[in-house]
């Protein structure tokens, strides 16, 4: 629209210039040329005017109108150029000059109008005006008068000027006409209107630019918040695992990396605190721990919470102190763990938390972050296994052990289907040397690694949940074996090891009853060995199940007694009938030696009316000493190593007496 108005203004000013020049010229030939030029420009002005008018008012089908005007006036333009005295006249003559009211003299010309072409031209011009008038009326009626008042005013001025010129002509009078000057009105009016409109638009643009700017700021703020959320832990506001992952990757990628370390801290028994004191206390504890690690961490180190009770510390350079990197990392880990062991006041509680730490040195052998994280996990696992509250640096042997563990875990899933398990039996004798029973001990005959001991694979089975299916197999096999013992040993018992996880299972009582029913074994000849770990979980639940099974005839034995932390109180609550003194107590026993500790254990057991079996008896000396201390039965290499079923049956045959 602005371009159209520019074109229109330019054409109009040229047109007015030509008109002015005509008043000044004193030769007919120049006047002729000027008239022709004037009419040529008029032929350009009308379509341009319609073009601008259409765009300004936003009239429908504006292209059609503009095209029609361009075609008609274009044709007239050509005719005008070809006619000797322009399209309007057949000749042009000079009249005596006009003297204006203020004394100025101007030239005046007149012409004989060409009959047809002039009327076509005037019709086109009048039609253009009529079109503009109709459009204005239409817009006024549509309530858009505010937009077209300036155009309306121009049309009125134009109409007045035209009527004035016509009346002069009609009356044969001479004088100045103003119809060309009406164009000036149009240009001035529209310039004002458009200028105001432009100003308003500029202001609106500035306002929306402001809006846009503040919107961008708001968006940037939200984006920053989101980024923070994605990379930080909401509880402690420390960076999270994701953040640490990227930082480690950047450290590994950087060309000039120094000797660094990743230390992973894990609170000991955090779960127990959380469950005992509630999650609010647990959360506060985690915040306190986060704050302490942050205080103790070396400058430039990055601390992240890996979720749960795990915190990671990345130190990019350990060489500042001149210590070997492993030693520096261990020192830092110890400084932090020591600081963490000071009691933390949370609400009414003074909490003491133990911390274990695993350390992976960087760059080390690991080339990618996942590997570093695996290494630090392995080191942490080792720290926890070696009695907690320690820090351990990853070594490549751990990788080999972890690899073996992974291999065993995979194999364990298939072992049952491949029938790779077998039970060995170790006899138990009373102090007079009579056979009273045997303990079933599980073995895994691995196709590639040979016979694997349960100490290695039972923990894996417990972690992976495979213990339930393996446990069922052991119960079935052991009950079948018991059924096959010779009648001479009809009173002998069979002891079966039961993992705490099995005892926890909802269907444990049912599973056991089914195993017994399907094998026709007598529950009264079965002893289930449980370890003290059952007390660490749900004592009430365990006691309930033991009571139910005891009522069904099964006996329970407390295995590895003395190696853990059974309270006498809980021992009283559990209806067990037997107690097995752990091998570690027997190791140091000699004939005639008076071990007060074992004596006390036996006394308590007898006070609670429990049968006492000593495990791991390897020498005659130990047997004699145990007899002196009042022990009821022994089991160990002195009697026999655990034997595969056929060999055990041979052993039984030899001990038929
Ligand atoms: P445990 O119940 O304390 O079993 C006794 C362990 O001591 C057996 O090791 C046995 O071979 C070993 N032992 C027996 N007499 C002597 C001795 O005189 N000297 C020495 N040094 N050791 C002796 P094993 O068979 O390797 O079993 C290790 C542990 O694995 C068992 O300890 C038991 O906790 C677990 N386990 C074995 N079989 C099963 C099972 O079927 N289910 C479950 N849940 N655990 C099992
Ligand atoms: Ca046992
Ligand atoms: Ca034991």
Max CA-CA distance within the chain? 165
What is residue 524's DSSP assignment? G
Output the CA 583–ligand 3 centroid distance in Å: 7
In angstroms, the CA 655 to CA 639 distance is 11
Ligand 1 pocket check for 282: Cβ under 6 Å:
no
Tell the residue number behind the tokens 């073995």, with chain if given: 443
In angstroms, the CA 311 to CA 297 distance is 12
Ligand 1 pocket check for 637: Cβ under 6 Å:
yes
Task: Check if the beta carbon of residue 56 is closer than 8 Å to that of residue 76.
Answer: no
Smallest CA separation from ligand 1 atom 27, residue: 454
pLDDT score, position 506: 86
Rounded to 10 degrees, the C-alpha dihedral 81/83/84/87 comes to: -90
In angstroms, the CA 64 to CA 9 distance is 23
pLDDT score, position 241: 93
What is residue 619's DSSP assignment? S
Ligand 1 pocket check for 49: Cβ under 6 Å:
no
In angstroms, the CA 21 to CA 279 distance is 98
Task: Check if the beta carbon of residue 640 is closer than 8 Å to that of residue 429.
Answer: no
Regions in the chain scoring below 50 on pLDDT: none
Mutate to test the pocket of ligand 1, among 415, 460, 497 (most ligand atoms within 8 A of CB): 497
In angstroms, the CA 233 to CA 230 distance is 8
Smallest CA separation from ligand 1 atom 32, residue: 455
Q: Which residues of 198-214 are buried (b: 16+ CB within 10 A; e: fewer)?
A: eeeeeeeeeeeeeeeee
pLDDT score, position 535: 67
In angstroms, the CA 482 to CA 484 distance is 5
In angstroms, the CA 370 to CA 252 distance is 11
Output the CA 637–ligand 3 centroid distance in Å: 13
pLDDT score, position 238: 93
Ligand 1 pocket check for 636: Cβ under 6 Å:
yes
H helix and E strand count, the chain: 23, 19
pLDDT score, position 565: 65
The region that residue 413 occupies, defined by phi over 0 for left and psi between -120 and 50 for alpha, beta otherwise, is: alpha
Ordered domains of the chain (ranges, CATH): 2-199 (no CATH), 241-394 (3.30.70.270), 415-654 (3.20.20.450)
Three-class HEC string of 196-245: HHHHHHHHHHHHHHHHHHHHHHHHHHHHHHHHHHHHECCCCCCEEHHHHH
Output the CA 40–ligand 3 centroid distance in Å: 119
pLDDT score, position 446: 93
pLDDT score, position 589: 87
Task: Check if the beta carbon of residue 56 is closer than 8 Å to that of residue 135.
Answer: no
Q: Which atom of ligand 1 is nearest to the CA of 580?
A: 3
Output the CA 581–ligand 3 centroid distance in Å: 7
At 494, give phi and psi (nearest 5°): -120, 125
pLDDT score, position 526: 97
What is residue 637's DSSP assignment? T
The packing angle between helices 539-551 and 508-519, to 10°, is 20
Q: Could you tell me the CA-to-CA distances from 509 to 145, 199, 289 in Å, in that order?
A: 94, 89, 42
Q: Which atom of ligand 1 is nearest to the CA of 531?
A: 34
Q: Which residues of 564-581 are buried (b: 16+ CB within 10 A; e: fewer)?
A: eebeeebbebbebebbbb
Task: Check if the beta carbon of residue 49 is closer than 8 Å to that of residue 124.
Answer: no
Task: Check if the beta carbon of residue 10 is closer than 8 Å to that of residue 191.
Answer: no
Q: Closest by alpha carbon to 431, among 615, 628, 652?
A: 628
């Amino acid at each position: 629209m602005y371009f159209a108005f520019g074109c229109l203004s330019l054409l109009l000013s040229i047109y007015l210039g030509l008109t002015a020049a005509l008043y000044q010229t004193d030769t007919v030939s120049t006047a002729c040329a000027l008239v022709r030029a004037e009419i040529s420009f008029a032929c350009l002005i009308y379509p341009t005017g319609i073009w601008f008018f259409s765009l300004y008012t936003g009239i429908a089908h504006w292209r059609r109108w503009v095209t029609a005007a361009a075609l008609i006036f274009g044709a007239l333009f050509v005719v005008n150029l070809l006619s000797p005295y322009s399209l309007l006249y057949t000749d042009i003559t000079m009249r005596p000059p006009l003297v204006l009211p203020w004394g100025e003299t101007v030239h005046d010309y007149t012409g004989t109008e060409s009959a047809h072409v002039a009327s076509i031209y005037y019709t086109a011009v009048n039609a253009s005006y009529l079109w503009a008038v109709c459009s204005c009326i239409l817009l006024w009626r549509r309530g858009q008068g505010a937009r077209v008042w300036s155009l309306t005013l121009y049309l009125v001025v134009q109409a007045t000027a035209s009527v004035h010129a016509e009346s002069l002509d009609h009356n044969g009078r001479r004088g100045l006409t103003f119809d060309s000057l009406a164009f000036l009105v149009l240009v001035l009016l529209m310039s004002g209107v458009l200028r105001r409109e432009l100003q308003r638009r500029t202001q609106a643009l500035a306002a929306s630019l402001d809006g846009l700017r503040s919107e961008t700021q708001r968006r940037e703020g939200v984006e920053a918040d989101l980024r923070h959320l994605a990379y930080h832990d909401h509880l402690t506001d420390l960076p999270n695992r994701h953040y640490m992952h990227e930082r480690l990757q950047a450290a590994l990628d950087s060309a000039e990396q120094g000797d660094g370390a990743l230390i992973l801290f894990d609170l000991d028994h955090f779960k127990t605190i959380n469950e005992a004191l509630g999650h609010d206390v647990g959360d506060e504890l985690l915040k306190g721990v986060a704050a302490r690690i942050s205080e103790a961490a070396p400058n430039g180190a990055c601390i992240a919470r890996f979720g749960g009770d795990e915190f990671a510390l990345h130190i990019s350079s350990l060489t500042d102190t001149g210590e070997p990197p492993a030693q520096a990392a261990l020192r830092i880990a110890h400084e932090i763990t020591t600081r963490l062991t000071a009691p933390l006041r949370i609400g009414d509680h003074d909490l003491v938390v133990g911390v274990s730490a695993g350390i992976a040195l960087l760059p080390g052998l690991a080339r990618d972050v996942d590997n570093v994280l695996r290494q630090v996990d392995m080191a942490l696992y080792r720290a926890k296994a070696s009695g907690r509250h320690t820090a351990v640096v990853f070594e490549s042997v751990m990788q080999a052990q972890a690899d073996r563990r992974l291999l065993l875990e995979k194999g364990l899933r298939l072992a049952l289907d491949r029938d790779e398990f077998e039970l060995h039996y170790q006899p138990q004798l009373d102090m007079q040397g009579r056979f009273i029973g045997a303990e079933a001990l599980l073995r895994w005959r691995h196709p590639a690694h040979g016979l694997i001991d349960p100490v290695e694979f039972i923990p894996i089975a417990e972690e992976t949940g495979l213990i339930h299916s393996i446990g069922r197999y052991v119960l079935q096999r052991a009950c079948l074996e018991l059924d096959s013992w010779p009648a001479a040993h009809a009173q002998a018992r069979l002891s079966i090891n039961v993992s705490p996880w099995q005892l926890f299972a909802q269907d444990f009582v049912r599973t056991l009853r089914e195993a017994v029913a399907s094998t026709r074994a007598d529950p009264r000849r079965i002893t289930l060995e449980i370890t003290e770990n059952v007390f660490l979980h749900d004592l009430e639940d365990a006691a309930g199940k033991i009571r139910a099974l005891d009522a069904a005839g099964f006996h329970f034995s407390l295995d590895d007694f003395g190696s853990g932390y059974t309270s006498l109180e809980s021992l009283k609550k559990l209806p067990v009938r037997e107690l097995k003194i752990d091998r570690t107590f027997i190791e140091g026993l000699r004939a005639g030696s008076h071990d007060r500790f074992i004596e006390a254990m036996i006394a308590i057991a007898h006070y609670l009316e429990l049968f006492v079996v000593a495990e791991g008896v390897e020498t005659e000396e130990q047997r004699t000493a145990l007899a002196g201390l009042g022990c009821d039965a022994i089991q160990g290499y002195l009697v026999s190593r655990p034997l595969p079923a056929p060999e055990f049956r041979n052993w039984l045959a030899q001990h038929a007496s």
